[in-house]
Amino acid sequence: MKVSELKHSGLKKWVEEAIALMSPDSAEVCEGGQAEYDRMIQITLDQGLATKLNGQKRPGSVLYRSDPSDVARVENRTYIASEKESDAGPTNHWVDPKELKKTMTGLYQGCMKGRTMYIIPFSMGPVGSDIAKIGVEITDSPYVVANMHIMTRVGTKVLEVLGGDGPYVPSYHSVGKPLAAGEKDNGVWPCAPMDDKYISHFPETREIWSYGSGYGGNALLGKKCLALRIASVLARDEGWLAEHMLILKITNPKGESKYITGAFPSACGKTNLAMLIPTLPGWKVETVGDDIAWMKFGDDGRLYAINPEAGFFGVAPGTNDESNRNAMVSASKNTIFTNCGLTEDGDIWWEGIGYGAPGKEIIDWKGNRRPSPQKDKSPKGEEIAHPNARFTAPAKQCPCIAKEWEDPKGVPISAFLFGGRRPKTIPLVNQSKGWIHGVFMGSIVGSEVTAAVISDQVGQVRRDPFAMLPFCGYHMGDYFAHWIRLGKKAEAAGKADKLPKIFFVNWFRKNADDKFIWPGYGENSRVLAWIFDRCDGGGKAVDTPIGWLPTPDAIERPDGVSEADMAEITAVDIEGWKKEIADVRKNHYPKFGDKLPKELYDELDAIEKRLDV
């Protein structure tokens, strides 16, 4: 589709200004569809940037290798350029928006010479849903176009909903590598040096400007940039929630279903939980979304959630048939792999895949030939696949995808889960005493720093409130206040009972021998079953200083977990919690200054008093 055919006058003008600034050789508006996706893949194959995988083993799939400087989100180059620095808060990098736009406009000048500009109209969420939002990404990367085809809904159907004057989030992206006349990439991943990488967000004008990176959340601007950083600001202003949360559907043996969302920091099993295969007989778990949830209140007072994405952008290493069989099936075909190993028989491989690599040699993520690992591990620093290697797979290929996953109305949420990787103190599961106590629980989420991380903070808790610390587009103190405000609004309307119940879970408690007490994975269905019953006021529970805990016999024990184990992980560690409260009071809450809601300090005081009784 030609730019001249755009019917939205504001969009057309914006695109024309971008063409004048960035000087591409040509420009085209993405129409969506399989033929366009296939063409983008073929362009990268022809450029030597992609490798087609074995059609028998991995049909319709390709592998990319990025530049070593371009392998993950670059948080130190990610900016929230609000008009006031105080609005960005202490956990975001702030730059004056005028200065930042001046700098980036200079970088954008002529940045697409020798390349094609692609204009990607995309919908976050089912096209036409009242909860969905529309963005338009301008990019010079066919890799980005192909990934956006999987991760969002792209094309003319989005333009039809946008109409002649509808709102959209304008998003610039360039790899920052213009080409001279006759110059080609010649198989070299295009990107700019680290100091020229910028992932910038302008909350007041709802804009995203990205430059210099071609990878992941830096370049797929629907992902974290729009779905969380900009959407969190929209949600604050419009009275809804944009959260870094999975959405799952759970059905009990009677055929009754509930929908649950959950927020977990990285390496806490979030995707595994979203695609869980229950070990508990008669129970069923289905996936609505594995990463992001947008929730708005319905007329009945309940929160309804959509998954704004259309695919999974999953971390490959550690994913295997035991940890996440459904993710493995999802990525078995029609998938884009990035920075994985390439086996002799044309398949992908990564550490933790569950088996050694076949053949004598393997090509690692840097393109080097190496001896094939006989086991699914490699020495630290010598990995075949980059630790952040990814698969981009269509959600519709997930064998446990829920039939409601694209329902434009969303699904009604019964429970929020928060969790982190905590070897001690935090019980297997506890339920909040109320909404504000639940917000408190979300605000202290974190994981203990282990010896596996090179840090002088081993043993300390690295807090990631609501698993949103890198993704909130404004001050986290104001973010907590937004959650509190929504609860008070529901209470004032007499609909507090319609709010989701809030729970904290911890699969990672360890015993004196440093062994995990709870087996995790599919056995987590036993905890979900208790949560399911608690949503209706059932399930055996006891009121404690930290909330409602299951009695030791409330959750059916899996093999290998003794009665003593259950008693340990469902008890209140009084002294441990006193240290937890002291750490929050001294080291965590002060970060947010006078914007930390008084209600959370009051909650802190109340829990402390209950622990002293």
Show which residues are catalytic. 268
142: amino acid identity, one letter: P
Asked whether the CA dihedral 186, 187, 189, 193 is positive or negative, the reply is negative
CB burial class (10 A; 0-12, 13-18, 19+) of residue 33? Answer: middle
Assigned token pair, 443: 């605000």
The torsion defined by the Cα of 251, 255, 256 and 261, in degrees rounded to 10, comes to: 10
**Residue 512 token pair:** 């004196």
Distance CA 200, CA 209 (A): 5
Q: Show the tokens assigned to 145.
A: 């176009």
Please report how many Cα atoms fall inside a 13 Å half-sphere around the Cα of residue 15, on the Cβ side: 27
* Measured distance CA(599)–CA(187) in Å, rounded: 56
Place of tokens 């085209």: 28
Q: Which residue has the tokens 């009695």?
A: 551
How far is it, in rounded angstroms, from Cα 561 to Cα 573? 19
First to last CA, the chain: 70
- From residue 140, alpha-carbon distances to 176, 190, 257, 473, 606 in Å are 9, 10, 44, 26, 54
Q: What are phi and psi of 80, to 5 degrees?
A: -110, 100
Token pair of 527 as six digits: 């905890």
CA nearest to 173, candidates 198, 214, 139, 143: 139
Q: Is the dihedral of CA 609, 610, 612, 613 positive or negative?
A: positive
The span from the CA of 87 to the CA of 84, in Å, is: 5
Residue type, position 454, single letter: I
On whether the CB atoms of residues 478 and 595 are closer than 8 A, the answer is yes
In eight-state DSSP terms, residue 519 is -
- What does the DSSP assignment read for 29-53? E---SHHHHHHHHHHHHHTTSEEEP
Torsion region of 515: left, alpha or beta (phi above 0 gives left; psi -120 to 50 gives alpha): beta
DSSP string, 320-354: -HHHHHHHHHHTSSS-EEES-EEETTS-EE-TTSS
The contacts found for 145-148 with CB under 8 angstroms, 24 or more apart, are 145/30, 145/36, 145/40, 145/118, 145/120, 146/37, 146/40, 146/41, 146/44, 146/336, 147/219, 147/220, 147/313, 147/336, 147/392, 148/120, 148/122, 148/220, 148/222
Q: The dihedral of CA 391, 55, 146, 311: what is its sign?
A: negative
* Chain center to CA of 443: 18
- In the three-class reduction of DSSP (H, G, I as helix; E, B as strand; rest coil), residue 190 is classed as coil
